[in-house]
Amino acid sequence: MTILPENLSLFPENVSQSTEDPYFYETLARKSGYNLIAGIDEVGRGPLAGPVVAAAVIIPEGIESAGVRDSKKMTAKARDKAFSFIQSKSLAVAVGVVSLKYIEEFNILKASLEAMKIAVLALDPQPEFLLIDGIYKISHPVPQKCLKKGDQISRIISAASVFAKVYRDRIMNAYHRMYPDYGFDKNKGYGTPKHLAALKKYGPSPVHRLTFKGVL
C-alpha cells in the first residue's frame, strides 16, 4: 500500500461532495494506494427502543451494486434483496450492536461511534481506509474520511446502511414477538402515534430507552 506524504490531501477541499458518481470517493482512495476500503454506517439513533446497530462493508473493486442505495429510500423487500447481495459479494462484512444499557449509561452518539468501531474491528481482513457516514471519526488507527449524507453519495456507505438497517429491523421483529403491544414489527422502535399511545397505556418495556423523551 502506498502511504501518502503528510502534506498531500487525499480528498482536496475543493472537491464537491455532490458528485453523481457513487464510487467517486472509493476511486480517490484507490488512486492513492488504498485497496481495502470499508464503508461504515449506523442505524437506530432516533428510536425510543432497541439497540443501535452499525455495519462495516468491504466490497471488491469491480463489483457493481446498482440495487444498493440509501436504505431510507428503499422498500423493505429491496433492502432484503440488497442485504443478500452484500452478504454474498462482500470481501468482508461485520456488524456492531450496542445495547440499551450502554446507550443509557453514556449517550446515543457515543453508542453509535462504539457500534461503528466494533463493526470495523470485526472485519477480516482489516481495512486500510474508512469511509464513514456523518461528521465523526471513530477510534481506529487507519485513515478515515467522514462524509455528510454519505449514505446518499457513496455506494459503499449505502451498502453499510442497508446491512445495518436490515440487521436491526430483524432484531426489532424479534422484540415484537416478545413485547407485541408496542408494534415493533411496524415502527422498529420509532415514536409513531400508535407506539406513543401504547407507551401511555402499558408503560415502557424492558427494551425501551428510558432516557429518551416520550418514553416516560
CATH of the domain at 163: 3.30.420.10
pTM: 0.92
More confident residue, 65 or 131: 131
- For residue 154, the enclosing domain spans 24-174
- Whether 137 is in a domain gets the answer yes
- Whether 182 is in a domain gets the answer no
- Whether 148 is in a domain gets the answer yes
Mean pLDDT of 105-130: 98
Nearest to 195, CA basis, from 48, 44, 45: 48
pLDDT tens digits, one per residue of 2-28? 444 443 456 655 555 556 899 999 999
Q: Is 97 helix (H, G, I), strand (E, B) or coil?
A: strand
Q: Where are the alpha helices (DSSP H) in 106-154?
A: 108-121, 150-153
- Whether 121 is in a domain gets the answer yes
- Whether 70 is in a domain gets the answer yes
- Whether 4 is in a domain gets the answer no
- pLDDT for residue 73: 86
Q: Is 14 helix (H, G, I), strand (E, B) or coil?
A: coil
| CA–CA distances in Å: residue 180 to residues 78, 121, 172, 201 | 25, 34, 11, 13
Half-sphere exposure at residue 77, Cβ-oriented, CA atoms within 13 angstroms: 0
Q: How many whole angstroms separate alpha carbon 170 and alpha carbon 80?
A: 10
Mean pLDDT of 78-93: 95
- pLDDT for residue 67: 80
| CA–CA distances in Å: residue 154 to residues 39, 64, 76, 87, 163 | 8, 13, 20, 18, 14
- Whether 120 is in a domain gets the answer yes
81, 92 contact by CB (below 8 A): no
Query: How many domains does the chain divide into?
Result: 1
- pLDDT for residue 3: 44
- Whether 181 is in a domain gets the answer no
Asked whether residue 55 carries a pLDDT value surpassing 90, the answer given is yes
